[in-house]
Amino acid sequence: MGLDLIILGAASATPTSNQYTTAQLLKMREHYFLIDCGEGTQKQLRRAKTKFSRINHIFISHLHGDHFFGLVGLLSTFHLLGRTAPLTIYGPPKLKEIVLTQFRAAGTFTSYSMHFVVTQHKVPQVLVETDAYTISSFPLKHRIATTGFLFKEKALKRTLNKPAADAYGIPVCDYHWIKEGKNWISDEGKEIPNGALTLDPPQPLSYAFASDTMYTQDTAGYVEGVDVLYHESTFCEDKKARAKQTMHSTAVQAATVAKEARAKHLLIGHYSARYTDKTRFEEEAKAVFSKVYAARELYQYSIKQSGIKVKSLAPKKDEK
């Protein structure tokens, strides 16, 4: 159990010879969700050895190119690989028009259906809700309409404590009701409380994605208590004025949001190409919020209640 997050791209503005723009792949309850799709995302997915067919939902935060220029190429590749499963794409109002215009201009079509869901950039919005999880969007403050995304697991059912059930002589046919939370009553009329027969399920986890945005206290309110907050940190403090001008954030401002939200962990990224040393972002953020990770491309962040485990997925020959 747990969430697995793969950073496919963590740079801002433009890709370079060794950096890709924003894209992330989140695995939650055995489902795969692509968050933003910068140029080169499909190449990064291949390098991370993920299965394209497992992605059924794509979330686009806004229409600046470094967050969606890889989308049409990825959708085309899905078709060329023979995909038939429906795909749902969540994003700003004009995203559907942009995608379909390019396909029409090329005289192409897809072998699968695409469903577009328009996100609201002024109010929070529930986008997906199942028995296992909820995915919602929340407003961010940027130069154009932009939303963040909040992924939240729902609580699992309690699990049967088999040794305890055996000790009370409970028949297998009653296990279902016990798992549903009911007490058990013996033939003699003795009632055994459910808590004595079941074990607590693991606590549900949550992940929030906030990019791009300038610092605003509102963000903390939308992601209160989140297990892991990804918050853009395009600049360090030496470019704080530039951050304000472009409506981006510094590492310190990202850490401030994490602290205000009482997040358990902070992941920062969307680095400006001005900086070659990414440890500077992490050091500045840690002055405000201690549990900080600087996002690294083709690294997987396995999120559990006990903490975060990080490992590289990059091929050995080009691992940075």
Question: Considering 36, 66, 212, 227, which one is annotated as catalytic?
Answer: 66
Which alpha helices (H) appear in the chain, and where do they start and end?
A: 41-47, 71-80, 95-106, 162-167, 175-179, 217-222, 240-246, 251-261, 279-286
| Distance separating alpha carbons of residues 288 and 286, to the nearest angstrom | 5
How does DSSP classify residue 61? -
| Distance separating alpha carbons of residues 190 and 170, to the nearest angstrom | 12
Q: How many CB atoms lie within 10 A of CB 180?
A: 11
Closest CA to 110 of 92, 87, 131, 143: 87
Give the pair of three-digit tokens for residue 74: 């990825």
Phi, psi dihedrals of residue 208, rounded to the nearest 5°: -120, 140
Confirm whether 66 is a catalytic residue: yes
Give the pair of three-digit tokens for residue 87: 């795909």
Catalytic residues: 66
